[in-house]
Structure 1
C-alpha cells in the first residue's frame, strides 16, 4: 500500500473517533452531572531513513535527518471534571456538589459506584435512592411521617416528624474524592467506578479536606459547552475532509502511473 494511503487512513479513523466523542457530548448536553469527554491523539512510529546527527562525511554531520511519519492514533479519552452550572429545582431530595467530590451509590452486587448526579427520590421503604433505584451510601431512611427534610451543606440530614417537636437526625451524607478522577471508569447511568488509575476513594465530610459542600434543592448541570462542541465538530469535519482528499489525490497519482507507464 502506498504510504500516503495508510497515513490518511489512520487520520480518517482518528477523526471518526473524535466525532463520536463530540456526538456523545452533545447527546448528553442536558444530562445531570455529566462530564464531557475529550479525545487525545498521538503520532505513530516514524520510519528513520537518515538518522539525525548521523555522519554524512568525515567532518559533516546531518542536522535533521530523514524521518517519515506513519500516521496518528487515538491514545485515549479523558473526562473533564470541571464544575457544571448549579440549577435550582426546589426539590428537597435534589443535591448538587459545589466543588470536588462524588456521592456514593450502593450497587446490587454490593460494590460502590460514584456519581455527581444528585437527583434522588424515595423508594417504598423510605430509602433515598437514585432514579435507577440504587441506594445512597451511607443509607438515609426517611420515616413515613417525616416532613420538612433538610440537608445541610455538611451533609447532615434532618426532618420533622409528627411525634417529635424538634427535628430528628436521619443520618450523614459523606463524599469521596480521588487522586486522579480521570482514571474513573464510566459505567453509564451517570455512575463511575474506581480503578487502579483513579486510586482509592478518600471519604470525608462535605466542605472539609478539599471536598465540596452540598447544596439542597439544586442539581449540577452537564459541563458540555454547546458552542465549543459545535466548533470542535466543524474542525473535525474539515480534518476528515482533508484526509479524504489525500486518499483521492494518492489514488489519482497511482492511476496516472498505471495509465502512462507500460
Structure 2
C-alpha cells in the first residue's frame, strides 16, 4: 500500500513541477495568467471503518486553479495596444473557427491587411456599433471593426483665388519661348493643390514670365501659364497680367477661366482663377493668400481608442469617424474558463456564459490605450515554489525506495 501512496505523491510533485515550469516558460507572454496546482488527500473508507484507524492512500490533483491577478503594465505608445485595468476580457472572433468567440487579456491589436482590427493570430476584435456621438444604441450587436480607407465625399475645385506680390524689378527671362521644364524661361512659379473630378489631390502650377517693358510710366506686364498634371490649361495659351506704375493690377479684371482638359479618365471642366488684390513692387515675389473650393476625400491617417473604448479613425481632410466601442466580457467564475492556448479562453459550464459590457461600467475594468498587460508570473515566487516541489519529489522518491526495500526484504525471508 505504501508503494502506491508514494507513487501518487511522486505524480503530484511532478504535476506541481509541470505547472511551475509552465508559469516560468510564460513569464514574458502578454496577458498570461499563472496557475497553481491544488491537491487533496485520498482516503479509502466504508461505513464499517473505524475513523481512528484509517490510513490515507496518497494525494490526487484537485484542480489547476488559474490566478487572474493583473499583470505588469508596459507603455508602448501604440494606440491599438489595449489593457483592461480590472476585471474583464477582450472578445475576439477566431479566424479558423467560423462563429467561434474567444476571450483574451492580450490586448496587442493592430490593423490587418484587410483593415480589420486583429490580434497577432488574426482574430478580429469585437465591438459594439455606435452612433455618430459614440453612444451605443439599445439594439447594438457585436461585430468586427474595419477601418475605411477614405472618408467624406469629394468636391472638385471650381474656383481658385491667388493674391500675390510680383517683383517689378525682375528681369525679362533670357530664354524664349516659355518652357515649363526650363526655369530660365520664366521668372517665378507658385503651386496650388486642387481637387480633380475623381476626388484626388492634384497640383495647379502657375508660371509667370515678365514681358519686355514698353511703358515708360513703370507699368509692368506678365504672361501667366497654367499647368495641372503636366497638361497646359487653356491649351497652353498664357493669360496677360498687368500692373500700372503704382503697382495696382489692371488686368485681368475679375476672375478668368482656366479650361482644364485632364488626361484619360477625367472630365474637362473650367476653373475660375481670381488674382484680385495682387500688386507689383520692387520686392521679392510673395504669396499673400491662396484659397480653393475643392474638398478631397479624406485619406486614413490614424486610429485611436479612448478610455470608454470608442474607436475613432482620423482622416487627412479633418474627419473623425467613430467605428465602434470595444466590448468587454466577464464571467461569474473566471477560474472555470477553458485555456485553449494562444492566450485564448473559451467559456464552459463551470465559468458560465459571458456577460458583455463596456469599459468602466457595471463592474468592468477600465480600458487603457497605449499599454500592454504582461504576464502576472512572479519569477522569485515561482523559483521558491520550484525548490519546494523538488524537495517534495525527492521525499516521495525516498519513501518509494524505502517501500521497495521493505518489500525486497520480505521476499528474501526464508523458511
Tell me how far 1:215 sits from its aligned partner.
0.8
For residues 155 and 6 of structure 1, the distance between their equivalents in structure 2, rounded to whole angstroms, comes to 55
Query: Residue 186 in 1 paired to residue 339 in 2?
Result: yes
Q: Could you say which structure has the larger radius of gyration?
A: 2
For residues 141 and 218 of structure 1, the distance between their equivalents in structure 2, rounded to whole angstroms, comes to 22
TM-score (ref. length: structure 2): 0.58
Q: Deviations over 1:68-121 (max 9, x none)?
A: 111111122111000111111111211111110001001232111000000111
1:161-172 equivalent positions in 2, closer than 5 A: 161-163=315-317, 165-172=318-325
Pairing partner for 2:327 from 174, 190, 210: 174
Query: How many pairs are equivalent?
Result: 247
Q: Normalized per residue, which structure has more strand?
A: 2
Query: Residue 101 in 1 paired to residue 88 in 2?
Result: yes
Any stretches of 5+ residues in structure 2 without a counterpart?
128-143, 150-298
For residues 367 and 300 of structure 2, the distance between their equivalents in structure 1, rounded to whole angstroms, comes to 21
Quick check: 195-204 or 136-145, which moved more? 136-145
Q: 1:94–1:219: 8 Å Cα contact kept in structure 2?
A: yes
For residues 199 and 193 of structure 1, the distance between their equivalents in structure 2, rounded to whole angstroms, comes to 10
Q: Deviations over 1:203-222 (max 9, x none)?
A: 11100001011111101000
Pairing partner for 1:135 from 84, 102, 124: 124
Match of 2:410 in 1: 257
1:173-252 equivalent positions in 2, closer than 5 A: 173-252=326-405
Pairing partner for 2:108 from 91, 115, 119: 119
TM-score (ref. length: structure 1): 0.90
Change (3 A) 1:243 1:156: same
Q: Normalized per residue, which structure has more helix?
A: 1
Query: Residue 45 in 1 paired to residue 40 in 2?
Result: no
Q: Output the aligned Cα RMSD.
A: 1.5
Q: 1:47–1:70: 8 Å Cα contact kept in structure 2?
A: no
Tell me how far 1:47 sits from its aligned partner.
4.3
For residues 6 and 371 of structure 2, the distance between their equivalents in structure 1, rounded to whole angstroms, comes to 47
For residues 15 and 154 of structure 1, the distance between their equivalents in structure 2, rounded to whole angstroms, comes to 45
Tell me how far 1:4 sits from its aligned partner.
0.8
Q: 1:159–1:167: 8 Å Cα contact kept in structure 2?
A: yes
**4+ runs of 1 displaced by more than 6 Å?**
none
Any stretches of 5+ residues in structure 1 without a counterpart?
53-64
Q: 1:47–1:68: 8 Å Cα contact kept in structure 2?
A: no
